[in-house]
Structure 1
Amino acid sequence: MILPSDTLDALCPMHMHIGADGGVRRMGPTLRKLMEGAAGEGAQFAEMMDVFRPRRVGTVPDLLALSGRRLQLRLCRGSQMVLKGLAMPDGQGGVIVNMSFGIAVVDAVREHALTSTDFAVTDLAIDMLYLVEAKSAAFEASRTLNRRLQGAMLAAEQRAYTDTLTGLRNRRALDHVLQRLLLEGGNFALLHIDLDYFKQVNDTHGHAAGDRVLQAVARVMLELTRKDDTVARIGGDEFVILLVGLTDRVRLSALAEQLIHRIERPIPVEDVECRVSASIGIAFGAPKTGARPGAEELMERADSALYRAKRQGRAQHAFDEPTPVEDLR
């Protein structure tokens, strides 16, 4: 005796009832949904599904011979995904094939917009889907948290190496880059820059005006240096520029003079114009004679050259000795 159709639909929403003549008598509601509206009842089952494992079958006797065995099949209409199946005799010479998605259930739900009503209430696929969704949500939450943590770490690191007023590198960043350059053993120049007459700006116009001047000077330095150069503010009105691979005195003199000329331009602050200049001391990371200096010694050499420039009348630049190697660029 065959179960009533509504009973079969509830117990096996993906069943196909095949008569003894091979014709499809009925399909469950979920299976019809997968067929995407294609007519099924009355057609030959071999036109509706392709059973290819454990072997290919095309007749009802062949299908009955596989009763109780797990089948793999593919629908010939609508969805082309591979399904699992179990064929059992209906007691009247026909066969009922119950199908399931197997591990493809997640893809099937997504592709065909299936809901819990498309599965038997006892089908554990729904519970599995809830677990998959929960796992996906947990992974996404974890990824979001990791991205936020990484972003916070990068932001904190950036703040730790950035001068908050000017946006330039700070002393910590300069020390890090300088140590790396010395370890790599390459040629570079270090420019120690001190602003002339900056104290008068602060005393006359206030610290807010002084901050505006420092920001304007920082922009000039960034405009006149290369992307790979390091520009740092290391103290109130003191700056350092590291120029990798540039040790030619002619080019360095031209850059120093250009920096001084640009910094000397009046800087408008509200209704007044602030004026400063700059003195520059230049030292080399790879001197032509003598041992390569360490970071502290190199800074001292640049500082000594800087104050020699100031003693010569300010708004000038001076080189540390000895003579550097030729420009390698």
Structure 2
Amino acid sequence: MTALRLQSAALDRLMPMHLQLDRTGRLLHAGPTLRRLMHDVCFDGATLLDLFDVRGLQPVTSFDTLRGMTGSALHLRGRHPEGIKFRGLIVDMDEAAEGDEPLRGPATAAYVLNLSLGLNELSTLSDTSLTAADFPATDMVADMLYLIEANSAAMGEARRLIGRLQEAQTESERLALTDDLTGLGNRRTLDSVLRRYSVRARPFAVTHIDLDDFKLINDTHGHSAGDRVLRGVAKVLSEETRESDTVVRAGGDEFVLILDDITDPAVVERVAARIIARLSAAEVSGAPGITVSGSLGTTLSSFYTRPDGARMLRDADVALYASKAAGRARHVLWYEGLTHGLGDTSEEAAG
């Protein structure tokens, strides 16, 4: 029978994780998949035991020992990178089965060591660019890699879907707290922020703003003109407050400011004066013939032993109506006993 000579190219196709060794255990050739898996290892000129810890039934400390283990199952662990484990089978290319001529490998190779990965080692492939195409179709690793790739694709799609759902949820929550016309916070935002401030030790002020004769603007110039005014007012309020403050449209032509870390009434008076001046400017109305003004009422948490957001909002409302009763386009600071100009006390107005 004629000896079969297997070229390295054929072995690379059949066993892409094989090693070819000479009689001393020096590496002559490494399969392409093994090179890619151990890409940071220099195979050229190294010996098998330089690169791997080898065990059969017992540790292999010399290549002489390994020669006697041809045809037996081996367990190998790569030294570089540390930790990758292989199963292996080594064949003496000059050794023939009884009655056969020797199998011949590449001209100088005396041994061929074929390696495979155990199932527990498949996770190491996630850090490489190896795919099922790097393994022969007969290797179950190819099937497992296909499953891993399919699972990875499915998980990636699931993550993208979850991301889109989270974005949609965030946007939905934002819209639920946002006034469509002005882009400011809405009544839900106001209630949420007031509850938060009510349990904090940080001081704050509540300013209630109501536009003067806004219904007349709508009736005379139309609702589109009224909408332009509301957007202009929102712009002014946003520009005259800080990032830490909260500006909301409470409904209709009413706005509320929650001014963070405010204890000095003089600071609130200055902010109110700037707002009143800018509301009367042409930039707010957006059209000639439209006059805009606003009345403001404010209370500070420092006025109360135990500040309560709902109570403060009612008191700011009392101060607002007091400012309207005093002539409009004014600011009134709440104080105990203040009436809103209709004969009610603040206690009665709160009710």
Match of 1:165 in 2: 181
Residues 119 and 303 of structure 1: is their aligned pair in 2 closer, same or farther, counting only changes over 3 Å? closer
Equivalent position amino acid for 1:184 in 2: R
The share of aligned pairs that are identical, in percent, is 37
Letter in 1 for 2:53: F
Distance 1:253 1:190 in 2: 12
Cα distance change on mapping 1:227 and 1:112 into 2, 3 Å: closer
Match of 1:241, SS state, is strand
| 8 Å CA contact retained: 1:48, 1:75 | no
- Going from structure 1 to structure 2, the CA distance change for 1:112 and 1:4 (only over 3 Å counts) comes to farther
Give me the whole-angstrom Cα distance separating, in 1, the residues matched to 2:259 and 2:30: 78
Amino acid at match of 1:194: D
Q: CA deviation at 1:96?
A: 2.8
Is 2:236 the counterpart of 1:220? yes
Alignment of 1:1-329 (within 5 A): 4-5=5-6, 11-18=14-21, 20=23, 30=33, 46=47, 50-54=51-55, 55=59, 57=61, 59=63, 61-67=64-70, 68-72=72-76, 74=78, 82=84, 84=86, 85-90=88-93, 92=95, 94-102=110-118, 111=128, 116=133, 118-267=134-283, 272-288=288-304, 291-292=305-306, 294-322=308-336
Partner Cα distance (1:114, 1:135) in 2: 13
Q: What residue identity is the alignment partner of 2:226?
A: G
Distance in structure 2 (CA, Å) of the matches to 1:31 and 1:186: 64
Letter in 2 for 1:222: S
Q: Is the 8 A contact 2:37 2:128 kept in 1?
A: no
Q: What secondary structure sits across from 1:321 in the alignment?
A: coil
1:243 positional shift: 1.0
TM-score (ref. length: structure 1) = 0.80
How far apart, in 2, do the equivalents of 1:273 and 1:142 lie? 57
Distance 1:52 1:169 in 2: 66
- Secondary structure of the residue aligned to 2:206 is strand
1:216 Cα offset (Å): 0.8
Contact 1:187–1:245 (8 Å) recurs in 2 = yes
Matched letter for residue 336 of structure 2: P
Deviation, 1:107, is 5.7
Question: Pairwise CA RMSD of aligned residues?
Answer: 3.6
Secondary structure, counterpart of 1:267 in structure 2 = helix
CA separation of 1:295/1:48 partners in 2, compared to 1, >3 Å: closer, same or farther?
Answer: closer
| Equivalent pair of 2:184/2:249 in contact (CA under 8 Å) | yes
CA distance in 2, matches of 1:86, 1:181: 72
Q: Does the CA contact (< 8 Å) of 2:236 and 2:275 recur in 1?
A: yes
Return closer, same or farther for 1:296/1:109 CA change in 2, 3 Å cut-off.
Answer: closer
In structure 2, the CA distance between the partners of 1:56 and 1:177, relative to structure 1 (3 Å rule), is: same
What is the CA–CA distance in structure 2 between the aligned matches of 1:181 and 1:33, rounded to whole Å?
60
Which 5+ residue runs of structure 1 have no aligned equivalent? 324-329
Aligned length: 314
Distance 1:175 1:131 in 2: 51
Does structure 2 conserve the Cα–Cα contact (< 8 Å) formed by 1:232 and 1:239? yes
Q: Is 1:106–1:129's contact at 8 Å kept on the other side of the alignment?
A: no
Matched residues in 2 for 1:140 and 1:114: separation?
17
Report Cα offsets for 1:27-51 as digits up to 9, x if no partner.
Answer: 6565687799xx99xx977279633
Answer with 193-202 or 7-16: which moved more: 7-16
Where in structure 1 do 4 or more consecutive aligned residues deviate above 4 Å?
1-4, 6-11, 19-36, 55-58, 73-76, 79-83, 101-115, 268-271
Q: TM-score, normalised by structure 2?
A: 0.76
For 1:190, the aligned partner's letter is: V
Partner-residue secondary structure (3-state), 2:303: coil
How far has the Cα of 1:174 moved from its partner?
A: 0.1
Counterpart in the other structure of 2:343: none
In structure 1, what is the Cα distance between the partners aligned to 2:169 and 2:27? 63
Shift of 1:141: 1.2
Q: Secondary structure at the match of 1:121?
A: coil
Deviation at 1:320, TM superposition (A): 1.0
Residues 322/245 of structure 1: CA separation in 2 closer, same or farther (3 Å cut): farther
Asked whether the equivalents of residues 267 and 273 of structure 1 are also in contact (C-alpha less than 8 Å), the reply is no
Question: Following the alignment from structure 1 to structure 2, what is the Cα–Cα distance between the partners of residues 320 and 32?
Answer: 80
Structure 2 Cα separation of the partners of residues 112 and 48 of structure 1: 26
Secondary structure of 1:184's aligned partner: coil
1:5 match: secondary structure = coil
